[in-house]
Structure 1
């Protein structure tokens, strides 16, 4: 299933700076990363309800569709996204991990099929021309059982990296200023 995004009116303050992460291509992780955990901007429930943005569930794969086509990320927490992206979730019990890898594998083809005079764009019609291999539900479920633990470990490592970065950012200024010494730790 393909899900479109949206942008709440930027002129309405009540729509912004809420608790709902709002994904745009600037929030896309590096090529070697899988998850998007946080976003530069956040919207309110009012912003969500008064725009075409939709709340994506954890596990949804996001792909950028305009400009930098093909940036992929798996949603780590429920979030919305702008209209320059699509959310992709599997139908008929197809796992999130299977969808993520199939979409990553299709990026080059999607980029080649893109069009636009100012910047490259893919549309819903572009996705109709992509053939996603599907063996059967049993095989895709077996695949998912194999990779699900790796995805969990990747996500846990991401959260651990954030915690360690925050700890470093707290301790380093105190160590440099002399407020703390290594013996205090």
Structure 2
């Protein structure tokens, strides 16, 4: 056993309370389904606080092959695809029934159920190491191994509950921040939809992208496979932007591929400069981003098109925004080629008509969207910081390194 702080004890999970197995009432029997008792399955156990489910059983269903447990019961997944990457555990806030892919543990009166749920989630890495495969990629968590898992906890129930209060307070802050983020996204989506209302568009110019390229503007297709082979990608070097790296009109560097400086010189005609647009030309045809200063010198990759404007009639940021809207996407879908996967080429892009309001309106709209994007970034940063705080504090509180 590991060392535990004074006033704490180490308990195997099998000795923490009463274990229950679940089941599924006959799905062909209407009398069993559509009631008011949530029925929890591997698919629906997604929240730590279990309050409801997309499927509910009736009183008759609750007595027909499943099990109903009381508030405070800990439920966790023992079989399912999700076990390959995460351990789902939650605590019932009301009476719930559950399926055979879950186990339920009603803790002894000396153990707080929410504390036990937090303690199990904190041991996720150890628990996932126990998972084996039940066939067809389905993960299986052996109950005997799970039962031998050792959990450290305060002997004093009041101390367990004080730890829960702290973790619950952090969870509420995270939930509040997520609600704020969702509201910001909703406002942003409404703002964009309002910009492109048909009654506004009717008074705008409607040029083709080809007309906006007059002068020295160009469209460049990314390198073909014969020019850039998979074995030439490296862990370090010059980033190469692929369609999957274009997310929400920005270029994500998180999983971006790279090539050596020498290879980048060979592909110099595909270099990106600030103000370029880069578009995915196959598969998801709504991917479009503006190249920022931090992306300068990166490469347009296979599967992408680079647009370099030479026009005083449209901002690159406006064109990227317009490209992702229904008005342009319907044109793209109608013109795309390919029997198995939709593709576009430079000719299709040149023929695309783009709503182009006066430049001053474009600037104001993009400025407002940039402010909203900054707000989203701040909200996302706040959430990530809170999650890191909770992770660190959970480890300290649930191990007894920090006492309440």
Q: Distance in 2 between matches of 1:59 and 1:24?
A: 17
Closer, same or farther in 2 for the Cα pair 1:168/1:65, shift >3 Å? same
**Deviation digits for residues 119-153 of structure 1, max 9, x if unmatched?**
11111121232233556xxx2x2123212322432
- After superposition, the CA RMSD in angstroms is 3.2
TM-score, normalised relative to structure 1: 0.73
Q: Does residue 34 of the first structure (1) align with residue 249 of the second (2)?
A: yes
2:302 to 78, 83, 95: 83
Q: Does residue 11 of the first structure (1) align with residue 231 of the second (2)?
A: yes
Number of aligned positions between the proteins? 174
Structure 1 segment 1-185 matched on structure 2, within 5 A: 1-6=218-223, 8-12=228-232, 15-29=233-247, 33-43=248-258, 44-51=260-267, 54-76=270-292, 77-78=294-295, 79-93=298-312, 94-104=314-324, 105-134=327-356, 139=358, 141-157=359-375, 159-160=377-378, 163-164=381-382, 166-168=384-386, 170-178=388-396
Name structure 2 gaps, 5 residues minimum: 1-217
Secondary structure, counterpart of 1:111 in structure 2? helix
Name structure 1 gaps, 5 residues minimum: none
Closer, same or farther in 2 for the Cα pair 1:59/1:168, shift >3 Å? farther
Structure having the higher strand fraction is 2
Q: Does structure 2 conserve the Cα–Cα contact (< 8 Å) formed by 1:16 and 1:47?
A: no
TM-score, normalised relative to structure 2: 0.37
Higher-Rg structure is: 2
Q: Distance in 2 between matches of 1:165 and 1:83?
A: 34
Closer, same or farther in 2 for the Cα pair 1:155/1:20, shift >3 Å? farther
